[in-house]
Structure 1
Amino acid sequence: MNKRREFLIKSALGVGGLITVPSWLHGAPAIIKTYNKPNSNINGVKIGCITYSFRSRPDQSLEANIQYIKDAGISAVEMMGEPVEYFAGMPAPTFDRRRGFQLGWKQRSGEDLTADEQAEWKELRGQMDAYGQVVANWRANVDLKKFEQAKKLFKGAGIEVYAFKPNAFGANNSDAEVTYGMKAAKILGASHVTLEHPSDDAQTLRLGKLADASKMKVGYHGHEQQTFTFWDKAIEQSKGNGLNFDIGHYIAAGHTDAMDLIAKQNERIWSMHIKDRQTPENGKGNLPWGQGDTPLKEALTAMRDKKYKFPATIELEYDVPQGSDAVKEVQKCLEYCRMALSK
């Protein structure tokens, strides 16, 4: 049927124009414009994904990420910073950043580093600090037209960028870098930027003021440190501050009032990460959707029925099964959303 419709559209447009075609073809320009493009808006709910979901794929270029998003059937995205920034010409690191993140996360989680790891971490920290200055210098001089080119790539693929997450909003980043990140987000079409909640009232106040000045919003992400009142102070500080709520991590933290939190903060939730995690009693596992304890169906149907405006962001964090890949698993998550919202 799709091939037949495509043939009829081409024939009709080529022979007599829209005046002589059947009534259903009067929308042909719109049909052609959206042909072969993803659509993950389901019954009024915008389902997106964060490109962190594709971290296991070997090619992390912007073009490859756009193809992953498109192949997964996703039409809206929270875009991690690096693929876009590398596309715009940001210098690549000459050290193993992934290893640095692993050791840093281990230390922040309260785990003891071995003597060898401590020495490795010290060396990597020095390299990361030096690289941070290189990046800051690049950001101060970058031609933002490259972000306009990136925007065209997203648009051509039928993908909306609703959030942008560059590593530019930390306490060690200058106001100029923060403003750069917000400008880049705006060019890409994003309504907000996201970052891990800094647990620092002075930093959320600073970011909120810069967001207000840039007419941008900031969504603070949380893990198991999230509580019902976790974002209250940041929200008080600025109209631009809001939630990048993670309902899966919230459940893994042992909370039972996720739906109450969504109802309370729905006007300040800029976006919500969705994943299926278990409660502490069940092991806190990150599982294929439908196997954990997270009230995903309840949250999605509440978004539909109460017409909440924020998007739900698929974040693939469970282990990819053997024989599958991240794109296929995001497709499964999207299908879970589609089934939940169709009932």
Structure 2
Amino acid sequence: MKSNERRTISRRGLLGSAAAAAALAMAPGGALRRVGAQATDKPNSKFNGVQIGTITYSFRDLPGTAEDILKYVVQCGISSIELMGGPVEQHAGVPAAMRGGRDMTDEQRKAMQQSREAQLQWRLSAPMEKFRALRKMYNDAGVNIHIVKFGNIGDGNMSDGEIDYYFNVAKALGARGITRELSEEAAKRLGPIADKHKIMIGFHNHTQMTPTTYDGPILSYGKYLGINFDIGHYVAGTNQSPIPIIEKFHDRILSLHLKDRKVNNGPNMPFGQGDTPVALVLQLLKREKWDIPADIELEYRVPPGSNSVAETTKCVQFCKEALA
């Protein structure tokens, strides 16, 4: 990747403004205030036609109820989120799951199986009212749940009834799609079901994705199968720019995950300090007017004295200035 690609935007200017925004986010009360705006204003992170959001995982170091996550998102000035399934189902009252281990007794294994069965039965009969109420709570605060992440949907022996439940939850939340990990076997299973529900499945990549992954049959199993393209992982795993992938598959990309990683499986870095052309990707979306949400996934180490809300706010400001 050419170094001059990453310097199209002034790195110093972006990082300086981002630091200022982060300081505001960490001010008493945690409210992100904009010049000339009232504290009660709803967030708006759609900049020049490009929707910037985030994923629940960005705040993994903080308490993680659906209410907590909404608070963090609003503090960051973000108006769109990929909400992970755990907080969604917990808010709706799913029975708690028992966690297992290698040294479990037969009695513990039986109890764990019973807890899994209780969750399954709950899912097969859960009313959608609580999910619609969750959607309203977020929408009233100015935040759209545009994607919900159910990482194991379509795996193993999951029944059609449970898969339908996950799609119905996505509809109740107002989501345009569901994300899960990259799997051709899951694509075969989910393709016809996604087409039936008219809700997209976005396959999320780690460093296993190559430039030719989607030249294969994975997207052919249904027209509602798509890509949740993690540009940072792609750069780290291939040492190549993600822009050709976006240009080629823009009509099948459900969303992007934004992070800035170094090449050669290098570490996550603050935006503007790695090898991922985050600013150029955002400018491409703006220029082509492609309706592809770009969600910040904060994975770099939070520095001492900061927190994930402040660091995510820096990322938002970076994106905003890249799209100015």
- The TM-score bracket by the shorter chain reads 0.7 to 0.9
Per the alignment, in what secondary structure is the counterpart of residue 275 of structure 2? Answer: coil
Check the 8 A contact 2:70/2:138 in 1, yes or no.
yes
Q: Which residue matches 1:20?
A: none
- Corresponding residue of 1:82: 86
Given residue 226 of structure 1, which amino acid in structure 2 is its aligned partner?
Answer: M
Could you tell me how far 1:230 is from its partner in structure 2?
1.7
1:236 aligned to 220, 236, 256, which one? 220
Equivalent of 2:140, from 131, 141, 156?
156
Equivalent AA in structure 1 for residue 185 of structure 2: A
- For the Cα contact (< 8 Å) 1:38–1:158, is it kept in 2? yes
- Note if contact 2:97-2:119 (Cα within 8 Å) is conserved in structure 1: no
1:331 and 2:316 are equivalent in the alignment: no
The one-letter code sitting in structure 1 at the alignment partner of 2:92 is A
**In the alignment, which residue of structure 2 is the partner of 1:45?**
50
Distance 1:323 1:149, change over 3 A: same
Residue number in structure 2 paired with 1:213: 196
- Relative to structure 1, the CA distance from residue 332 to residue 136 in structure 2 (aligned partners, 3 Å threshold; closer, same or farther) is same
2:181 to 175, 193, 196: 196
Aligned-residue Cα RMSD (Å) equals 2.3
Query: Which AA in structure 2 matches 1:70?
Result: V
Name the SS of the counterpart of 2:266 in structure 1. Answer: coil
Counterpart Cα distance in 2 of 1:301 and 1:127? 52
How far did residue 78 of structure 1 move? Answer: 0.5
**Deviation for aligned residue 1:129:** 5.3
Residue 156 of structure 2, aligned match among 139, 150, 171:
171
Once the two structures are TM-superposed, the CA of residue 197 in structure 1 deviates from its matched residue by 1.0
Question: Could you state the TM-score of these two structures normalised by the residue count of structure 2?
Answer: 0.82
For residues 71 and 131 of structure 1, what CA distance do their matches in structure 2 show? 36
Task: Give the Cα–Cα distance (whole angstroms) in 2 for the partners of residues 209 and 218 of structure 1.
Answer: 11
Mapped partners of 2:248, 2:166: distance in 1: 29
Matches of 1:42 and 1:123, distance apart in 2: 55
Structure 2 unpaired stretches of 5+: 1-36
Kindly provide the CA deviation profile for residues 62-116 of structure 1, in whole angstroms up to 9, marking residues without a partner as x: 11111111111110010101111111110123437xxx7xxxxxxxxxxxxxxxx
1:292-312 CA deviation, whole Å, 9 max, x = no partner?
Answer: 000101101000001111100
Give the corresponding residue for 1:110. Answer: none
1 or 2 for the larger relative contact order (CA 8 Å, sep ≥6)?
2
Where do 1:50-89 residues align within 5 Å?
50-57=55-62, 59-89=63-93
Instruction: Read off the aligned partner of 1:255 and give its amino acid letter.
Output: N
Q: Are the aligned partners of 1:234 and 1:242 in contact in 2 as well (CA < 8 Å)? A: no
Pick the aligned partner of 2:291 from 309, 313, 333: 309
Report the Cα distance in structure 1 between the residues aligned to 2:275 and 2:201, rounded to whole angstroms.
28
Q: TM-score, normalized by length of structure 1?
A: 0.78
- Asked if 2 retains the 8 angstrom alpha-carbon contact of 1:251 and 1:258, the reply is yes
Are the structure 2 counterparts of residues 68 and 302 from structure 1 closer, same or farther at C-alpha, using a change threshold of 3 Å? same
The answer to whether 1:273 aligns with 2:257 is yes
Q: Return the offset for 1:52.
A: 1.0
Q: Are the counterparts in 1 of residues 98 and 112 from structure 2 also a CA contact under 8 Å?
A: no
Q: For residues 310 and 129 of structure 1, do their structure 2 counterparts lie closer, same or farther at Cα, with a shift above 3 Å needed? A: farther
Distance 2:73 2:150 in 1: 18
Q: Aligned ranges for residues 83-102 of structure 1 at < 5 Å?
A: 83-95=87-99
Give 2:270's aligned residue.
288
Partner-residue secondary structure (3-state), 1:302? helix
- The residue number in structure 2 matching 1:6 is none
Give, in angstroms, the shift of residue 215 of structure 1.
1.3
**Aligned pair count?**
285
How do 1:3-152 and structure 2 match up within 5 A? 35-57=40-62, 59-95=63-99, 119=103, 130-152=114-136
1:123 and 1:320 map into 2 onto residues whose CA distance is 41
Report if the CA contact (8 A) 1:168-1:178 is conserved: no
Deviation string 1:269-314 (CA, Å, 9 cap, x unpaired) is 010101000000xx61111111100010110100000111110010
Q: Distance in 2 between matches of 1:171 and 1:319?
A: 34
- Does the CA contact (< 8 Å) of 2:205 and 2:228 recur in 1? yes
% identical aligned pairs: 40
Report the CA distance between 1:194 and its aligned residue.
0.3
- What is the Cα deviation at residue 44 of structure 1? 0.7
Unaligned runs of 5+ in 1: 1-30, 101-117
More helix by share: 1
Compared CA separation, residues 47 and 123, structure 1 to 2 (3 A): farther
